[in-house]
Structures are given as structure tokens and as C-alpha cells.
Amino acid sequence: MTVMGDRPHLFPEEFDEATRILARTTEGVLLELIDGKLRSRVGPDGDHGRIIQWLTRICLQSRPELWLHPDQGLQVQAYRKGRARPDGSFAPSDAFVGEGEWANPDPVLMVVEVTSYDSDTDQRDRVEKPRAYAETGIPLYLLIDRDNCAVTVFSEPDGVRYENAHTVPFGKTVSLPDPVGITLETEALKEWVR
């Protein structure tokens, strides 16, 4: 581990080795590397999984040539030095064939995160990940925010941030602009929050 200032940072290679070791010894913990910082999160709960199932069905019906790949690791941020594991990556069905655990994000049209009920959700899903995905150039970031009962569509990445963020409460219709081109009726999301 390298120390920069008074904050520890990991290089991607160190992170990759750490995840290989932890995969053999722990279960249910997902690791990510954002801004050189190690992030962990617990596995999803049943409602979280049901939301991904709901969204997968809509995506498949609307765009059958694409798939919402669950939990595919992506190389993110400038120079691909970050490692994120979005809840879903909307991309061609064979986009990750031959890729390893941390895939090239270029074919991804949209990433999806469903907030978890853990202590660092706010920082991770609302601050760090939108920036990391925008730096990577992923066209859309869909945040299904169970804490705020809202859906936010981030679009128009400029290499630093998303220039547009459109938020609607659960129950409203929201459009996922091109290159996705799907409209979501979000009423059902009200059923899957605490």
C-alpha cells in the first residue's frame, strides 16, 4: 500500500490481489476501489434483488439485444485505475465475453445502482460513483434511491461529472435518454423500500 499525504491509497494491482485473497476467505462482501480508496459493501437484500429483477425485465422487453449484467466489475475513472461493481451494467449481451473480473467499460450504455441500507451509501452511491462513472464516459447512471424514494438519471458525462441529473419520486415516469431510450414507470418501486 502506498501512502499519499496522510491518506492511504491502493494501486489497482494491489486491489486486484487483495480481492483474490478475500474471495477465498470471506463471503457476501463486495469490494471496490474508488479514488484510490478501498470500499466494501454487504451483499444485497431481497428487495434490492427484486428491484434489479424488475429493471432487468423492463430492459429485456424494451431492448432485447442488450442485457442488464448484474455485478460485473468495471475498470473506471481516469486511466481505468478504479474498480467498481455496479448493481447492473446495461450493455450488449456479449459485451463481457472473454473479460475478467474487472472489464473494460467501453460497451456499457448505462450503469445502475440501488442504494443499500449501510453507513456509506450516501458517499459511495451519490458522490463517488457518479463522478467515477462520468470520468469513465459511461453515458447514463441510473440511481434508484431507496432512502429518498426517488430515481435519478445522470446523463451527459463531460469527463469529470455528469452535466445533467434528473430526479423524480417513486411513482412518476422517468425517461432514460439515448443511447438507452427506455421509459420507466416507477410506481412498483414503492413496494420495495423499508
| pLDDT mean over 172-184 | 98
Q: Judge whether 17 lies within some domain.
A: no
Tens-digit pLDDT profile for residues 30-64: 666 566 665 666 666 789 999 999 999 999 999 99
Q: How many CA atoms lie within 13 A of 156 on its CB side?
A: 4
CATH classification of the domain holding 85? 3.90.1570.10
Q: Judge whether 7 lies within some domain.
A: no
User: In the predicted model, what is the mean pLDDT of the chain?
Assistant: 84
pTM: 0.81
Structurally, the chain folds into a number of domains equal to: 1
For residue 170, the enclosing domain spans 45-192
> Using CB atoms within 10 A of its CB, is residue 135 exposed (0-12), middle (13-18) or buried (19+)?
buried
| pLDDT mean over 74-95 | 89
State residue 28 phi and psi, 5-degree precision. Answer: 85, 5
- Cell 462482501 identifies what position? 29
Looking at the predicted structure, is the pLDDT value of residue 101 above 70?
yes
Q: Judge whether 3 lies within some domain.
A: no
CB 52 within 8 A of CB 68: yes
Q: Judge whether 9 lies within some domain.
A: no
- Cell 439485444 identifies what position? 65
- Give me the amino acid identity at 74: L
Looking at the predicted structure, is the pLDDT value of residue 103 above 60?
yes
Query: What's the confidence (pLDDT) of residue 123?
Result: 73
- Cell 450504455 identifies what position? 109
Q: Judge whether 5 lies within some domain.
A: no
Q: At CA 190, angle to CA 153 and CA 161, rounded to 5?
A: 15
Q: Judge whether 90 lies within some domain.
A: yes
176 strand-pairing partners: 182
